[in-house]
Structure 1
Amino acid sequence: MGKRRRVPERRGLGRRPALTGLLVAAAVAGLGTGGYVVFGDGASAAGSTQSTEERRNAPLTAADVSAAAETFLAAWQKGDVATAARATSDPEAARVHLTGWTGEAGITAASFTAGRPKGDALEFAVRATVTHEKLSEPLAYDGRLTVVRRETDGEPVVRWRPSVLHPELKDDERLVTGEAGSAPVTALDRDGGELTTAAYPSLGPVLESLAEKYGEKSGGTPAVALRAVPADSLQAAEGSGKNGDKPPKEKKDEAGKADGEEAEGRELLLLAEATPGEVRTTLHPGLQKLAEEKVAAKPRSSVVLMRASTGEILATANSDPEVDTALRGSLAPGSTMKVISSAMLLEKGLAANDREHPCPKYSSYGGWKFQNDDKFAMKDASFKASFARSCNTAFISQAEKLSDDDLTKEAQQVFGLGLNNWSVGVSTFDGAVPVQSDAPMAASLIGQGGVRMNPLNMASVSATVAAGSFHQPYLVPPTVDGRALAQASRGMTSAALGQLRELMRYTAQAGTAAEPMAGLGPSYGAKTGTAEVEGQSKPNGWFTAYRGDFAASAVVRESGHGGEHAGPIVAALLRATG
């Protein structure tokens, strides 16, 4: 379990009280029994003839405080939870925590030494042993309790607070001893170099996810510690736009905050240090470094670069190191979704590159009126021209010819999206293209409605076009753990694939993606996108592209046109692939 180290009295708990007055000693294995002596300190509370009302209102004496503490501490030491709990102001809460003292916390062989009462308070020193499986460490700290009169009969009792058990325990916490988090992992790039947040700041969520998934598999062991953890987490475990996008605005999207995990709590005593395992990833050190630099220079940006023919993720980066939009984001992708929509229309024979395709100023469906950026229109335009210009109405006009699930089927069957079955090696969001009706279905064709993607998903879309078939992206090679990768149920027809590549190539040459993609041809293609989001003054800018065997996608939230803001990030990474 790793190197052990002893931890002295913890974190400034105060000086040890004078060991006079109340004394609890000579505990044996378990909680055991021991001598318990009270030295006279004043008038005894025994034999009182006061009425209940008089007792409720009577000031506490030193004898009252000593007597209440004696009853509580003696029962606690002996393991008599019922008696100890009854000697407090909240027996039920005290019973739960005192039971957990030996159960969840694994604390045994406890003895207490108390000082003289000071007003209604009394300090006591705790000496015990914390045990977890074959590990054990001595526990020593100074505690404090206060005494109040019980509401029902005025008898002195210990005022219950979890801090009676340990001074660092908050009211909503309990003590637990066990593995503290996941086993750590030393993550390596594809060349064997160590990946750290010092070198690659935005990899924090990735490294955490690697530890969670591969810590023990890679030979690591987690730390073992006595911790203060949220009581509710323990109970749960026990129970357990522009550029052509102008539809109505979407509600605020999830930008990819790290998955919520059970709180690890605060360490109070370490029994065994963690030891790291080792896992190799597909990340390319040079390309990862470049990706970090590009997003650092562009606020609210995220990017993913991958190899199209294999699915290997070569770089993933976010300008905000705490928010993994690149892999876990859930955002409307705007007109980049038209790559998938075009594949569907081409396969259904509802569009052909050189066939005339309507691009009016407006197009209505399902009660919504859609328009193009700046309300432009193109007369006698071909489908290729409409795609390159990112004409919304060219797609909305086809909605009446589609079934509600046509786009969903295309996304799932050909592009492998929205099935929640990707096994990347780290936590990801695998895209969502839900079946919708009426206006939301039409909006989905242009990447709004209920469609949700992130740069990983959209890089995979371009990779599917470049490679000719879907290859599930992965950051940890499947040979590391023998896991199976997701598969698409069918490939795109060869005729549709050829036309789709032509559409993306023409967009990179002469369409909305031409400026950032300049000089990267001829084996290349791209699509821009802009998604308006409710509550944002500016839309999210998207860009997805491929060059040779490499594909990438980026989003810059609250920026504007995708070609202007996200495009240069993608182009820089594709250019660096040689």
Structure 2
Amino acid sequence: MGNFQKLSLALVGLIIGGSVVACDDGRSKADNAAKELASAISALDVGSIAFDGKDAAAANDQLKEVFKALEPAKPAVAAGDMKLEGDTATVPLNYSWKIGSGEWKYSVSTQLKKSGDTWRATWNPAMLVPELAEGEILSKAAESPQRADILGAGGAQLVAYRPVVNVGIDKPQVGGGDIAAAATKLAQLVGVDEAAYVKQVEASGAEAFVTAITLRDDGNRTVSDEQIAAIPGARSIRDSLPLAPTRTFARAVLGSVAQASAEQIEKSGGVLSAGDVTGNGGLEQQYDAQLRGTDKVVIRAQKAGLTTAEIKAAPQDPRRTVFEVPAKPGVPVKTTLDPKLQQWAEDVLGKVGPASAIVALRPSSGAVLAAASGPGSNGYNTAMLGQYAPGSTFKIVDSLALIRNGMTPDSKVECTPTLTVDGRTFKNAEGYPAGSLGSVTLRDAFAHSCNTAFISTRDAVSQAQLESAATSLGVAVEAPALGAAAFLGSVPGEAEGTEHAASMIGQGKVLLSPLAAAVMAGSVAKGAPVSPVLVLAPDAGAPAATAPTATAVPTMDATSPAQGSDASPSATALAPAKTSDKPVTAAEAAALADMMRAVVTSGHAGFLASVPGAPVGAKTGTAEFGKENPPKTHAWIVAVHGDLAVAVFVEDGGLGATTSGPLLKEFLTQAG
């Protein structure tokens, strides 16, 4: 390259470079300053921003005060297209907030001024919120819609707003009296912890009404208004709360509603705040978002320090609304529970001491009509979550496996007094009739529940075939339409020796819940696997449930009243299969139904023959558990009665026929 060419290129570069410098009017630095400002506001921290006319620390304090009511929300702020005129730049700041279920978007304009080589934002409260004046802040108010009901079969109100009275001390009404003495007397009257309530009253504000207890106002109150009014400062304030018909009605299934605790508020991520009501346990918690709906939220601009008294005294509201999210009412949760059957089941279990349950469902549809856990369950959902060895009720599964391997109800099996497998001796239940020993039909062995007869067939039925037969009857498979947490049964696919022999009589590692046992019986009545349904699909647009679904298998723990017979308290049940790979057929179910009917006509459930209506088919079960000698036993019975399948369970209940059987008869007779 010659010298002339080099000089020409140098001149071109100089010209181009000169033109770039000449065109650089400061826009890039102004753009950067605007972006830094937007980023700092997004973080709600402008302490590092240089402002024109405002100290950065003071600006930061003012910003935090303006937005304090919106915590913990933060805005997303982006700088828009800049307009540059000499040493002044005008830039839009585009805000986006997540407020409740809504999105608050707005745009404000701010100016930047060039000072030397630096661009500084001009401080103005209106750069935070449109038309915000000096000395103004934002306030936030939320108003919850009425919580939706939980409905039962036919739209019956299971949980609905019912009248209550909040009983407490109204501190201004105590006057100059002894507040601690009044709180003590009220605590004694209503039966709450005296020391804790006195401490609560003393710690509250001078104008506070401090609730001691909330009582149903249904005419059955044990504490009258007159007794309350006799205590200085004590009052009863009428209100309404979402409640079931009685305190105990299906409580383990439905759950309850109460004011959100501090822990619940913290875990909600801003969804709940002090004073909100929320579900505790059961369907109320699982479907809380659907039932609660979304709050109406109002954001207002107002003078800092404005008091409630000033607002009330003003001829018109001194605040102005800058954003509002309308409330969305909750959507009812529709269930299949029949109020009469549920109450009957609870009444029948009312006199049972140990943990107990009655589950009733409609085989044709899978609808769960009752899922009652007795008082001995202490609030645990034994009906749906219990994990227990099913005992001889599992012979329904054994029989299906045997039928699939060529046997019929008339095939002969050997029923002996005892049978030893690998050194372990199995025997029949106490009082087994001697006349039913020997070579008997499978039907008779089933009707009288001969353990040794079924164990003697163990070589003809593999453990994998037992598992397959169980899933064929709807046991140990997922229930995607149930809509609630439940244990669906667990049947191992592999077992040898004594463990396989124990499986033949529903022990070992075989576990069912009362719900799963009812499904098993119901599948016989239907002639196809029953998939249980408790919660009907919500209306379109209803929020989805966030709690565990029926595909979850809870783990047994030492604190649960639901302990399996030979299972370790820390053992985890097997995960259920997705679906059965070989559903029970109508012909197979007919053979099983024939055998279940024989339990009533010739077996030891003859007491069910007098139940009015359709003929009853049944199977009893007694499952040993623990290490005592003689061992304790769970008492089971399952039955089909027309389009009704029922399972009755009593933990530590003795024999199925003598303990659970009468409970079943009482329930079926009432059910009609």
- Fold agreement, TM-score > 0.5: yes
Aligned partner of 1:284 in structure 2 is 338
Q: TM-score, normalised by structure 2?
A: 0.50
Residues 378-393 of structure 1 mapped to structure 2, 5 A cutoff: 378-393=437-452
C-alpha displacement of 1:283: 1.4
- Counterpart amino acid of residue 291 in structure 1: A
C-alpha displacement of 1:368: 2.7
- Counterpart amino acid of residue 607 in structure 2: E
- Indicate whether 1:571 and 2:659 are aligned: no
- Counterpart amino acid of residue 245 in structure 2: A
Aligned partner of 2:92 in structure 1 is none
Aligned partner of 1:94 in structure 2 is none
In structure 1, the residue corresponding to 2:357 is in which secondary structure? strand
Aligned partner of 1:451 in structure 2 is 510
* Contact 1:517-1:571 within 8 A present in 2 as well: no
Question: CA 1:274/1:571 → structure 2, altered by over 3 Å: closer, same or farther?
Answer: farther
**Deviations 1:219-268 (CA, angstroms, capped at 9, x unpaired):** xxx99x8945699999xxxxxxxxxxxxxxxxxxxxxx979x99x9xxxx
Aligned partner of 2:619 in structure 1 is 527
2:379 equivalent among 314, 319, 322: 322
* Contact 2:611-2:665 within 8 A present in 1 as well: no
**Deviations 1:519-577 (CA, angstroms, capped at 9, x unpaired):** 34653200000111216763111010011111110101111111222223323333334
Give, in whole Å, the separation in 2 of the partners of 1:258 and 1:191.
21
Aligned partner of 2:252 in structure 1 is 205
Aligned partner of 2:527 in structure 1 is 468
* Contact 2:523-2:589 within 8 A present in 1 as well: no
- Counterpart amino acid of residue 289 in structure 1: Q
Q: CA RMSD in A?
A: 4.5
Aligned partner of 2:635 in structure 1 is 541
Residues 42-53 of structure 1 mapped to structure 2, 5 A cutoff: none
Aligned partner of 2:234 in structure 1 is none
Give, in whole Å, the separation in 1 of the partners of 2:493 and 2:71.
47
Give, in whole Å, the separation in 2 of the partners of 1:289 and 1:575.
14
Residues 165-176 of structure 1 mapped to structure 2, 5 A cutoff: none
Give, in whole Å, the separation in 1 of the partners of 2:332 and 2:582.
36
Question: CA 1:190/1:233 → structure 2, altered by over 3 Å: closer, same or farther?
Answer: closer
- Indicate whether 1:298 and 2:339 are aligned: no
- Counterpart amino acid of residue 418 in structure 1: A
* Contact 1:189-1:283 within 8 A present in 2 as well: yes
| Further displaced range: 563-572 or 356-365 | 563-572
Question: CA 1:230/1:380 → structure 2, altered by over 3 Å: closer, same or farther?
Answer: same
C-alpha displacement of 1:134: 5.3
RCO (CA 8 Å, sep 6+): is it higher in 1 or 2? 1
- Counterpart amino acid of residue 594 in structure 2: E
* Contact 1:555-1:566 within 8 A present in 2 as well: yes
Give, in whole Å, the separation in 1 of the partners of 2:331 and 2:254.
12
- Counterpart amino acid of residue 251 in structure 2: G
C-alpha displacement of 1:352: 2.7
C-alpha displacement of 1:517: 4.6
**Deviations 1:247-300 (CA, angstroms, capped at 9, x unpaired):** xxxxxxxxxx979x99x9xxxxx9979964312211112112211211222232
Aligned partner of 2:562 in structure 1 is none
C-alpha displacement of 1:457: 0.9
Question: CA 1:402/1:550 → structure 2, altered by over 3 Å: closer, same or farther?
Answer: same
**Deviations 1:180-237 (CA, angstroms, capped at 9, x unpaired):** xxx965101112221135425242232249x9xxxxxxxxxx99x8945699999xxx
Unpaired runs of 5+ in structure 1? 1-28, 34-73, 81-100, 109-130, 137-178, 212-221, 235-256, 265-269
**Deviations 1:473-515 (CA, angstroms, capped at 9, x unpaired):** 1112347579999864444345433321111001012212222
* Contact 1:470-1:487 within 8 A present in 2 as well: no
Give, in whole Å, the separation in 2 of the partners of 1:103 and 1:508.
68
- Counterpart amino acid of residue 523 in structure 1: P
Question: CA 1:79/1:389 → structure 2, altered by over 3 Å: closer, same or farther?
Answer: farther
Give, in whole Å, the separation in 2 of the partners of 1:340 and 1:380.
21
In structure 1, the residue corresponding to 2:595 is in which secondary structure? helix
**Deviations 1:19-42 (CA, angstroms, capped at 9, x unpaired):** xxxxxxxxxx95788xxxxxxxxx
1:363 equivalent among 419, 424, 444: 419
**Deviations 1:136-162 (CA, angstroms, capped at 9, x unpaired):** 9xxxxxxxxxxxxxxxxxxxxxxxxxx
* Contact 2:524-2:590 within 8 A present in 1 as well: no
| Further displaced range: 487-496 or 475-484 | 475-484
* Contact 2:364-2:526 within 8 A present in 1 as well: yes
Give, in whole Å, the separation in 1 of the partners of 2:264 and 2:640.
47
In structure 1, the residue corresponding to 2:518 is in which secondary structure? helix
* Contact 1:542-1:553 within 8 A present in 2 as well: yes
- Counterpart amino acid of residue 474 in structure 1: V
Question: CA 1:340/1:271 → structure 2, altered by over 3 Å: closer, same or farther?
Answer: same
| Further displaced range: 493-502 or 296-305 | 493-502
Give, in whole Å, the separation in 1 of the partners of 2:267 and 2:335.
36
Residues 63-74 of structure 1 mapped to structure 2, 5 A cutoff: none
- Counterpart amino acid of residue 547 in structure 1: H
- Counterpart amino acid of residue 452 in structure 1: L
Aligned partner of 1:168 in structure 2 is none
Aligned partner of 1:518 in structure 2 is 610
* Contact 1:460-1:473 within 8 A present in 2 as well: yes
C-alpha displacement of 1:77: 8.1
* Contact 1:336-1:543 within 8 A present in 2 as well: yes
* Contact 2:255-2:282 within 8 A present in 1 as well: no
Give, in whole Å, the separation in 2 of the partners of 1:366 and 1:135.
65
Question: CA 1:226/1:356 → structure 2, altered by over 3 Å: closer, same or farther?
Answer: closer
* Contact 2:525-2:589 within 8 A present in 1 as well: no
- Counterpart amino acid of residue 133 in structure 1: I
1:192 equivalent among 133, 155, 176: 155
Question: CA 1:194/1:495 → structure 2, altered by over 3 Å: closer, same or farther?
Answer: closer
**Deviations 1:349-368 (CA, angstroms, capped at 9, x unpaired):** 2x432232101122233443
Give, in whole Å, the separation in 2 of the partners of 1:530 and 1:233.
45
Residues 146-161 of structure 1 mapped to structure 2, 5 A cutoff: none
Give, in whole Å, the separation in 2 of the partners of 1:384 and 1:500.
9
* Contact 2:341-2:370 within 8 A present in 1 as well: yes
Unpaired runs of 5+ in structure 2? 1-42, 48-57, 76-96, 103-141, 160-242, 270-280, 289-294, 298-326, 545-549, 552-577
Give, in whole Å, the separation in 1 of the partners of 2:540 and 2:633.
40
1:133 equivalent among 99, 102, 115: 99
Aligned partner of 2:648 in structure 1 is 554
C-alpha displacement of 1:518: 3.0
Give, in whole Å, the separation in 2 of the partners of 1:368 and 1:402.
19
Residues 503-514 of structure 1 mapped to structure 2, 5 A cutoff: 503-514=595-606
Question: CA 1:355/1:226 → structure 2, altered by over 3 Å: closer, same or farther?
Answer: closer
* Contact 1:308-1:464 within 8 A present in 2 as well: yes
- Counterpart amino acid of residue 519 in structure 1: V
Question: CA 1:558/1:530 → structure 2, altered by over 3 Å: closer, same or farther?
Answer: same
* Contact 1:258-1:328 within 8 A present in 2 as well: no
Question: CA 1:104/1:287 → structure 2, altered by over 3 Å: closer, same or farther?
Answer: same
Give, in whole Å, the separation in 2 of the partners of 1:424 and 1:504.
26
In structure 2, the residue corresponding to 1:195 is in which secondary structure? strand
* Contact 2:358-2:648 within 8 A present in 1 as well: yes
Q: TM-score, normalised by structure 1?
A: 0.57
* Contact 2:414-2:440 within 8 A present in 1 as well: yes
